[in-house]
Chain A
């Protein structure tokens, strides 16, 4: 247990020490939130969908949690390069514990990042429709963080260099984000789009957050929870399996 704790703590320390990085990682969400949020606002309003800023805020929060958690998993790549991974791999601790410690640490950091972006949203004028359901929205944030930290771990375990990293970024992380309905409503889409967005787990995470922040949903909170929990568990097992197979 203490191994899990110390590795969790390590992720947290690394996060709180990289202040410049924290600020830098706010840049992208801010762009989406302010430029798209306000820029597309009038069009969205005219189409009868209400405030685009309100709509996009949970999506942008989901995005920052997605990026932060998946990169924490891919952090194995850096640890591999700088050598720290070896140190944990020869330690007399079951690798599953190391994986759990890292994943929990990465998820915690991702949730903190998500809360930071939430705060920015609120400062910019975002208001949830119901304050009592906020913890439930936070719950979905945690699910997103865990799911994608595990996915990052599964991918990071097999990555050897930076080329692979770019590939993952452009062909996995960005599509997950753009297809998640973070930026546009998933209702009334044509079939190919419905399928593409339907197989993206983030769609359910963000839909879950919207359910409790805005009172609007596409899949329903129960389906959201079910999909996130099942896919999350599968990825957790898969990530752990991949992690234990690492050879250096």
Chain B
């Protein structure tokens, strides 16, 4: 379903993704693990047509996302790592826009929006502007929105970041459900090793832009002689803490958040 060959991406002198190759079969849940700044998000951005690779080839369901952008975009859904909601609109309107952009027919849209908002316990707040939501609620809405159309491939970029255990549980139950019932291929990243161990069929570990291991959680544990996936992960990637450089975008985002809290809105 996803085929990646010798994928590389460099930003000037910095090589974010370096010669990465892997395959994800249809109906598989694939977890992409790595420390901060390892190249996970950059890889997802290239897979989802947001960034152009510097080198290498990608196939999504047999399509090249570079030449068949729209066809490829129809195949996948994505929950981003950072927020992508419109805060001035209500939860319901955010779902509506998504449904229209993804060509979900009117009736299905209404039905599924209601179902999803109920599952993620946002139904009572559907007519509130999203900027009034707490961090966890926004996160839940993003996830609910990602499930609105039924994609062939679902990208989840650290979906559980900032979620309480209840919501996390709800999310993974739902992911497993669509994976089994609708044969959706799932490509996810997370920092919680126990989650990856629990849901993923196969795992790829990326560090410094290079894929250092891939296989079933069990195979990876055996390979490193570790008891848990967490141990295996540390054995593969070392224990130094990584710093990501803050871009001007991050700074502005901080500024914008400060400003918002300052009571303008």
Contact = CB atoms under 8 A, between A and B. Distances in A.
A6 to B, nearest CB: 4
B84 A81 contact: no
B50 A92 contact: no
A145 B73 CA distance: 32
B97 interface: yes
Nearest to B93: A13
B252 A162 contact: yes
A117 B84 CA distance: 34
B89 A82 contact: no
Given A6-B97, A90-B48, A92-B101, A81 B252 contact: yes
Interface string B73-102: 110101010111111110001001110111
A3 B86 contact: no
Contact of A10 (B52, B89, B103): B89
Contacts of A6: 96-97, 100-101
A90 B50 contact: yes
B101 A247 contact: no
Given A13-B88, A83-B84, A90-B78, A248 B101 contact: no
Interface string A1-32: 01101110010011001100000000000000
B48 to A, nearest CB: 5
Nearest to A165: B252
Size range of the interface on B?
Answer: 35 or more
A82 B83 contact: yes
A91 B102 contact: yes
A162 B89 CA distance: 23
A89 B82 contact: no
B253 interface: yes
Interface string B103-135: 100000000000000000000000001000000
Given A14-B88, A83-B85, A248-B45, 9 more contacts: A10-B89, A82-B87, A84-B84, A87-B86, A90-B50, A90-B73, A92-B70, A161-B248, A248-B51
Interface of B: 45, 48-52, 70-71, 73-74, 76, 78, 80, 82-89, 93, 96-98, 100-103, 129, 248-249, 251-253, 255-256
8 contacts: A10-B93, A17-B88, A18-B88, A81-B249, A81-B253, A84-B85, A162-B252, A162-B255
